[in-house]
Structure 1
Amino acid sequence: MLSVSNATLGSPHEGVWPTQRRKILDWLVTETRNERFIDNILVGMCKRLLDAGVPVTRATLHFRTHHPQWLGARILWRKGMSEAEIRTFDYGVEETAQYLNSPIYEINNGAPVVRRRLDEPKEDGPRYPLYDELQADGYTDYIAWPLDHTLDKRHVVTFATDRAGGFSEDHLAFLADLLPALALVSEIRLKNRLARTLLETYVGPHASEQILAGATTRGSGVTVGAAILICDLRNFTAISDLWPRDDVIELLNGYFDAMSGPIERHGGEILKFMGDGLLAIFPLSDPAACANLLQAISEAQTSVAEMNDENTRNGREALGYGIGVHVGDVMYGNIGSRKRLDFTVIGPAVNVASRLESLTKEIKRPILLSKAFVEMAGCISELENLGSFPLRGVGEPIDVYAFSGDCVLSA
């Protein structure tokens, strides 16, 4: 295996593509400022390299991300592609043979560069499976470099060519000269994406857009009409006292998956998880918001029932839950102290939904809906009227409805 370091490459000789190299560097540093996505920048850079006479016909970027679902992502471009291909990798991929037996693993473990002439099969060094794949596709040379970000965060860029004889030393020097600028622009985009991902993960997609748009001052917000859903797990205190910690966390995650998936699929926004409960809204800007909420509850019932079947098979008790649903105007925005804010909803309508959830414990029905919601949903004839109930902190008793037919569990 040939090893080439940035130090030995240096810059291209004076007079070899100085204008083209400067144009690409200037483009990377100053002309990509309005481009949000690093995959588009990779495509643009590779096309400019080809125009400059550098025979790059394949390039990849490998990033480790802070995403709740994925450990990292690979961005792949090949000559002729107008858009890059993005592939994500699950947690645990770093333990697979595919990763451990790859040049990416070698770079991530400190190698300053990995190069392989694919048209010279007798060359010394590891013969990774990737090399055979590239050689079968007609590539003649491959090189990988680290992209070092702030605080020693290491990512990887690779280039390959199908040129007879592979990359020349001048080609490699040209590419190496771009690495600092590419590291800079990729770090900016990766951190922008990271900020958006973290906000979406912790406050939801709609709230994250509001925050990124500048809604960061205490008290900032808007009044919106929404169908409100509050859900709470039953007997969680007893479960958490008796079960091992890891089992409790696994149970909570499974329960939230069962509830959250249907809510998000049908246009609801989960604003927060509160211990063993959650708060979600379905904005009435969508005319189907109330119908979507009911469909989400129906699917969540099915998901919880399936989870309980598995719990029963494993010798665990089935889980109960309570859901309260109301509709009305809510204040949607920043609440909290001067230094610590929570993007949430407040208002009388939220209080009613919370009281209905608490009422499920008393009347032993797991899903209760207010008359106001049922009337707006247009399904009053399909639901069971349980009568009027006084709710703590609410002036007049309100009519309460439950799903007709059998519910998944008694509360």
Structure 2
Amino acid sequence: WREGEEVTVAEAPYEVLDSDQYYQNPIYAVFLEGKEIRRKICDPDCANDFLILDELREEGVTDYIAMPLDFTNGEIHCASYSTRQEGGFTDVEIAALERIRPALTRVAEIFALKRTAMNLLDAYLGHQAGMKVLTGQIKRGDGQEIHAVIWFCDLRNSTPLADSMSREAFLNLLNEYFECLAGAVLDHDGEVLRFIGDAALAIFPVTEEGWSVDEACEAAVAAAKDALGRMAKLNNQRESFGAPPLGFGIGLHLGDVMYGNIGTAERIEFTVIGAAANEAARIEGLCKPLDVNFLISEQVREHLKGKWQSLGKHALRGVGDEIEVFTVKS
């Protein structure tokens, strides 16, 4: 927070923890030693032993202090303060900062734990499912019926691919593939629910607070087109060093599904179940015989603008009526 400005939250990549910017920062020294660091920048004799001090001096800062926050698990975190006040912090102000430090530490630890929990749940369950778990919806069978665009994608010929390379190389390949496909879903605010081997299940839900049906369909299609572009780049890279291109399919369908958790009493997961989810997987399964990478159902097509190429009506395994499917018009 800066005077006269809104509170901002900044995040840094893990790479910053291996940089001079980090190692030559007072906060790193606090982490190491667990001691308070103060630099009275307005003092001509102030040590200039941290990179940030020159930046602060240019901003007119006269005093800087970094205080350790000792969490109950033994971790040391840090709170830092700076001022442009002439002469720097007064003794009374320093004493006030010291007095609030214990309370600030407890509050900071609560927020840090919540943030860590949310990050873990985001990574392993997805944001919406993670929020439901965090708010206590963790009993088996908890859920709700939602209207959503269901995304299903799959990597083709994965078995011979896996047999032709080391396990580590195949895992790296899968990560590159999912970075293109699932990464596009996340970048367009979709929710990745499951990775099933080399396949992924995701949703673009319709809600009163969020997307309309048209908007959910448009977001899902935008994500699919983004994924196609990413895969084209990845395959160009693979071809440049003699590797075969990766085949894949994306199927989009619109319908009602049950969104909730299922499993055993000891191990549950959030997912969507219902006919529409199964139909999305069947639609994706048509990509290979129809020689395309991307298909949408007629239910999705009804909510889209632009030109789409019909590839006819097809019977889906386990589905009574035939469904007309479309692909991007070339």
TM-score bin (small chain): 0.7 to 0.9
Quote how far apart the aligned CAs of 1:337 are.
0.9
The correspondence for 1:122, drawn from 11, 29, 45, is 45
The answer for the alignment partner of 1:401 in structure 2 is 325
Structure 2 stretches of 5 or more lacking a match? none
Partner of 1:83: 6
CA distance in 1, matches of 2:251, 2:130: 25
Taking only the aligned residue pairs, the percentage that are identical comes to 36
Are residues 1:360 and 2:282 paired?
A: no
Alpha carbons of 1:170 and 1:368: their partners in 2 closer, same or farther (altered >3 Å)? closer
Q: Map 1:142-161 onto structure 2 (within 5 A).
A: 142-161=64-83
Query: Match of 2:109?
Result: 187
How many positions carry a matched residue from both structures?
325
Give 1:326's aligned residue.
253
| Structure 1 residues 127 and 195: CA distance shift in structure 2, 3 A | same
The letter of the residue matching 1:139 is: V
1:5-404 equivalence runs, <5 A:
77-78=1-2, 80-123=3-46, 127-285=49-207, 286-288=212-214, 289-374=216-301, 376-377=302-303, 382-391=308-317, 394-396=318-320, 398-403=322-327
Could you tell me which amino acid in structure 1 is paired with residue 285 of structure 2?
Answer: S
CA distance in 2, matches of 1:284, 1:169: 56
Distance 2:132 2:107 in 1: 25
Structure 1 distance, partners of 2:194, 2:303, is 24
Pick closer, same or farther for the CA change 1:386–1:81 going to 2, 3 Å.
Answer: same
Mapped to 2, the partners of 1:324 and 1:188 lie a distance apart of 42
Is the Cα–Cα contact under 8 Å of residues 368 and 400 in structure 1 kept in the other structure?
Answer: no
Aligned equivalents of 1:120 and 1:202: distance in 2? 50
The 3 A distance-change label for structure 1 pair 338 and 161 is: same
Query: What displacement does 1:246 show?
Result: 4.7
CA deviation profile, 1:29-56 (whole Å, cap 9, x unmatched):
xxxxxxxxxxxxxxxxxxxxxxxxxxxx
Amino acid at match of 1:235: N
Structure index of larger Rg:
1
**Gapped regions of structure 1 (runs ≥ 5):** 1-76, 407-411
Does structure 1 conserve the Cα–Cα contact (< 8 Å) formed by 2:307 and 2:328? no
Letter in 2 for 1:216: I
Residue 106 to residue 328, structure 1, CA distance change in 2 (3 Å): same
Rounded Cα–Cα distance in structure 2 between residues aligned with 1:269 and 1:311: 28
Distance change >3 Å, CA 380–CA 179, structure 1 → 2: closer
Normalized against structure 2, the TM-score is what? 0.86
Tell me, yes or no, if the aligned pair for 2:260 and 2:270 is still in contact at 8 Å.
yes
